[in-house]
Structure formats: C-alpha cells, structure tokens
C-alpha cells in the first residue's frame, strides 16, 4: 500500500526546480506530469500495477479482459479454472501455431467449462484465446494490469501539506515519478540548452531507475537463488 503523498512529490519537484512559489510551473501542471508518469511506467513495467481477478468468459474461443475488467490494460497471465463446477486445474500458455498444428479445427470444437490452454498475442493487449472454446459459465483466475487512476487535486489541495492523497502505485516508484516530473518540466523550457540537458538527464534517470528495479526484482523473486 502506498504511503508517499502526492503533495510531497510536488513539493520535492518544486524544490529541485527552484520554484517553491509555483511561479514557473503551477502545481496542477506538475500533477499532470505525475499522471503521465503512470502511463509511462506501465508501458515500461507492465507488472507495476498488476491485479488478480476472476474473469467470466463469453461463449467461444476469443476473450477480452475488458468484458469483466473495464480498466484492464494488458493480460499478464491466465492461472487456473475458477468456476464452481470446473476441475480448478491450471491453464497452460501455448502458441497459436502449435495449437493450430496439433488441432487445426480447434476453433469449432465442443465448448467446455474447463479451459486447458490459452494463446496470447501481445499485439492485442487485452485479448486472448482459450482452448477448448468457453461456455458463458467458464471462469478463469487471471493476472492483468491497469493504468493507475489519475489525480485531480486542485491547486489549493496541492499546496496544502495536510492533503493526504497518496500516489496510486507502489512507493518504490516514487523516485522514478519525481524524475519524470522533472523531465517534463525541463522539457517545457528546453529552449535553454542547460534545461534541455537536464530534461535528458532526468528521463535517463527515470528509465534507469525502472531498469535497475527490474533487475533487482528478478534477483529476489522466488526461485531466483
């Protein structure tokens, strides 16, 4: 659960920008860039805001996460069958080519409440295919991600230290968010060579922070030792 407050990140950004009176960059403007950072983080780290839920299938082999989760951004994994009358067995990822080779007519096979396999194409982020074709009573445990909800605090709220709204993502991304805000702020004034260089440096720091976090997460994940 996040504990870093939005107003604290805005204040840190203003301090580093030497603009504590919000003369050059309004607090609301910095908030826009904080919201933008969420989308950028999810693009670079799809697992950054992952959710687990029970997905109810529509009839047939083609499924779309948004039919159960309106804010879903990308499928990360299908885990197991969840319907009360199902086997509750795990579901295995396969390529469409291998399934087409083994069972060319699988698209028209008998539907089932028990899903055995799923196919995912990253070009269609919220879609996946299931084998056998699903019934409307088929349910699956899935992992997916969403873009964190945007903040809409007022200028008054953003300049009030008592405002308790926290960031909508893990605290571990707070430094990356700050670098992204600074990158966007200096980009606004990139007609000055020094600011253009600062913008590049902060975006690189943003990217490096996410990359290093990826490496450290992989190093400590179960089974990594």
Model pLDDT, residue 217: 46
Q: What is the mean pLDDT of residues 181-200?
A: 86
Question: pLDDT, tens digit, for every residue of 72-105?
Answer: 999 999 999 999 999 999 999 999 999 999 999 9
Question: pLDDT, tens digit, for every residue of 4-52?
Answer: 999 999 999 999 999 999 999 999 999 999 999 999 999 999 999 999 9
- % of the chain with per-residue pLDDT over 90: 88
pLDDT of residue 142 exceeding 80:
yes
Model pLDDT, residue 215: 53
Q: What is the mean pLDDT of residues 56-71?
A: 97
pLDDT band at 1 (very low <50, low <70, confident <90, very high): confident
Model pLDDT, residue 88: 97
Model pLDDT, residue 216: 42
What is the C-alpha separation between 175 and 154, in angstroms, rounded?
23
Residue ranges of domains in the chain: 6-46+148-216, 49-146
Model pLDDT, residue 124: 95
């Amino acid at each position: 659960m996040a504990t870093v407050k939005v107003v604290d990140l805005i204040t840190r950004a203003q301090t580093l920008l030497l603009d504590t009176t919000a003369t050059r960059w309004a607090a609301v403007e910095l908030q826009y860039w904080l919201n933008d950072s969420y989308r950028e983080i999810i693009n670079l780290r799809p697992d950054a805001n992952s959710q687990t839920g029970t997905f109810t299938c529509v009839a047939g082999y083609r499924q779309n996460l948004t039919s159960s989760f309106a804010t879903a951004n990308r499928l990360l994994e299908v885990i197991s069958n969840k319907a009360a009358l199902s086997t509750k067995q795990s579901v295995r990822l396969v390529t469409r080519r291998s399934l087409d080779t083994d069972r060319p007519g699988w698209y028209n096979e008998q539907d089932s409440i028990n899903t055995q396999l799923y196919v995912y194409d990253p070009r269609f982020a919220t879609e996946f295919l299931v084998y056998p074709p699903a019934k409307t009573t088929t349910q699956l445990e899935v992992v997916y991600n969403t873009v964190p909800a945007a903040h809409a605090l007022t200028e008054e709220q953003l300049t009030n230290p008592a405002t308790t709204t926290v960031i909508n993502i893990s605290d571990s991304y707070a430094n990356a968010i700050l670098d992204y805000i600074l990158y966007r702020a200096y980009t606004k004034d990139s007609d000055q060579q020094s600011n253009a260089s600062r913008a590049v440096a902060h975006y690189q720091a943003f990217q490096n922070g996410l990359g290093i976090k990826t490496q450290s997460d992989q190093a400590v994940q179960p089974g990594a030792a």
